[in-house]
A = this chain, B = another copy of it.
Amino acid sequence: MLYDHLAQDLYTEICHIPIIDPHSHINPHQPTARGLEDILGYHYYTELAHSVGMEKEAVNLDIDPADRVRETLYYMSQFDNTAQYQWFLEIARVFLDYQREQLSLADSTWLFERAQRVMNRPGWEDEVLRRSNIETVFLTNDFDDPLQGFDTERYVPCLRTDDLVFHLDDPKVRQRLAQATSVEVGDAAGLRLAVTALFEHFTRHGARACAISLPPRFRPAPVSDNDLARALHAPAAGKGRKERRAAAALARTRAHGVFWMLAEHCHEFKLPFDLMIGVNRKVYPGGVFQGQDLFDHRVSLIQYARLFNAFPQVSFCVSVLASTLNQELVSYSWIFPNVYTSGHWWYSNIPAYIEQDARARLQAVPRTKQIGYYSDMYKLEFGLPKYNMYRRILAQVLAEDFVRPRIYTELQAVSLARALLRDNVRRIFDV
């Protein structure tokens, strides 16, 4: 809760801005939670519970939902200091009318049953969106998603390309690609045909962005068609050290080649490219589902300079996982016309880092080049607490850095917030 009156006033105004959420993992066929187990099944809770002692098997999906909820709640008191806990508390209060100050295991049954009832009543989806003041939500679709059976005005498709760039050696991925595009990829030209088919399919269904998450060491570069063809034919890695090295080099070539081809298609199809930079996958393989990835802060946007220069017409919406990379993001967005700052991602999505990072962006990046926030949510119920967290921080920063020093009037400050939360998203993604 905000205790600064000016910030509170700004917050109230900011809450009136209808949100366009430019990045989520919503399943449009089941956008809301079916019950508390879907809320507490969010990896933020299972991984924090596991971090303080919960067996990861305790939340296997074949276990009774009520038991899974009880198990996670049992461990929750050990992380009731976290921002993630606050999201849950806000969901319980706003959506479930939970009234007590502090959650405890004793609330488990009541909360579970209440959620069951509330989240399955008719019109729940609309109600959640209305109360969160979220108008439009971007999805993150697998490349072979049929994109059918949902309202693409409300749920905007977005082509996720991690599989294509990093797992094209996987026969299952190849097969999915072949089925989705009717192209059997054998060389660079074949791959180009397949990728074009994907972009046609996605844009035909209203897609507004291409997206990918990238490891810290990725350094995009173009690859010749011949090299790419060789990399596409690469055999699985052998056992020897030399063979593994060669396989790794080919995997890199393949990733570079596919990635560059995607950027070319973003140019051709006029789609912005969301780059989510810096994640190391499976650093803790013993962790819960989606609670295994971490990062290495030693990454620089200089690795992307060649890309940014090669595609001046493509809008690159850049998220960084490490807050220590924020100053580079600020500076690259200030210099490159096609680089935009985008949200506060994952491990940087906690108030201490959001505040620092947002302040620097607000002071040095043109207002039209900032995408303030995205929810990254899997269930619509999280839009409210996550956006509220950001709205509060934004209101506080606007109060302290803009309104009180008389740089902006309150009206101007709210207009800046509108640019960050709505107008820029509309313009950049042409919504």
B residues within 8 A CB of A406?
A: 1
B residues within 8 A CB of A359?
A: 352
What is the 8 Å Cβ interface bit string for chain A, positions 71-102, against chain B (1 contact, 0 not)? 00000001111111010000000000000011
Number of interface residues of A (CB under 8 A): 80
- Flag if B309 contacts A78 (CB, 8 Å): no
A47 CA / B292 CA spacing, docked (Å): 41
Least Cβ–Cβ distance between A239 and chain B, in angstroms: 18
- Flag if B336 contacts A284 (CB, 8 Å): yes
Q: Which residue of B lies closest to A291 (CB)?
A: B335
Contact of A367 among B80, B347, B364, B412 (CB under 8 A): B80
Binds B, one of A57-65, A124-132, A326-334: A326-334
Stoichiometry (number of copies) = 3
Least Cβ–Cβ distance between A214 and chain B, in angstroms: 15
A244 near B: Cβ within 8 Å? no
- Flag if A323 contacts B327 (CB, 8 Å): yes
- Flag if B291 contacts A296 (CB, 8 Å): no
B residues within 8 A CB of A401?
A: 351
Contact of A48 among B294, B366, B404 (CB under 8 A): B366
B residues within 8 A CB of A365?
A: 82
Binds B, one of A186-194, A248-256, A297-305: A297-305
**Given A322-B327, A324-B327, A284-B300 contact (CB < 8 Å):** no
**Given A286-B309, A367-B78, A353-B335 contact (CB < 8 Å):** no
A53 near B: Cβ within 8 Å? yes
- Flag if B284 contacts A3 (CB, 8 Å): no
- Flag if A300 contacts B298 (CB, 8 Å): yes
Q: Could you jot down 21 A-B contacts, CB within 8 Å?
A: A3-B405, A47-B335, A48-B334, A51-B333, A53-B337, A79-B367, A81-B402, A82-B363, A82-B365, A83-B364, A280-B302, A283-B302, A284-B336, A286-B309, A291-B335, A296-B302, A297-B300, A297-B325, A298-B300, A331-B347, A351-B401
Least Cβ–Cβ distance between A121 and chain B, in angstroms: 30
Least Cβ–Cβ distance between A287 and chain B, in angstroms: 6
10 nearest A-B residue pairs (beta carbon): A79-B366, A296-B300, A352-B360, A352-B359, A296-B302, A331-B347, A78-B368, A81-B367, A3-B404, A350-B364
- Flag if A353 contacts B362 (CB, 8 Å): no
Contact of A82 among B79, B294, B366 (CB under 8 A): B366
Q: Which residue of B lies closest to A3 (CB)?
A: B404
**Given A330-B347, A360-B353, A335-B82 contact (CB < 8 Å):** no
Least Cβ–Cβ distance between A62 and chain B, in angstroms: 23
B residues within 8 A CB of A308?
A: 284
- Flag if A362 contacts B294 (CB, 8 Å): no
B residues within 8 A CB of A412?
A: 102
- Flag if A305 contacts B331 (CB, 8 Å): no
- Flag if A405 contacts B83 (CB, 8 Å): no
Least Cβ–Cβ distance between A324 and chain B, in angstroms: 5
Contact of A353 among B51, B327, B405, B409 (CB under 8 A): B327
A82 CA / B334 CA spacing, docked (Å): 10
A118 near B: Cβ within 8 Å? no
- Flag if A305 contacts B297 (CB, 8 Å): no
B residues within 8 A CB of A309?
A: 284-286
A356 near B: Cβ within 8 Å? yes
A238 near B: Cβ within 8 Å? no
Least Cβ–Cβ distance between A201 and chain B, in angstroms: 31
- Flag if B369 contacts A328 (CB, 8 Å): no
Contact of A405 among B1, B53, B305, B364 (CB under 8 A): B1
A40 CA / B35 CA spacing, docked (Å): 58
- Flag if B327 contacts A297 (CB, 8 Å): yes
B residues within 8 A CB of A146?
A: none
- Flag if A347 contacts B327 (CB, 8 Å): yes
What is the 8 Å Cβ interface bit string for chain A, positions 414-430, against chain B (1 contact, 0 not)? 00100000000000000
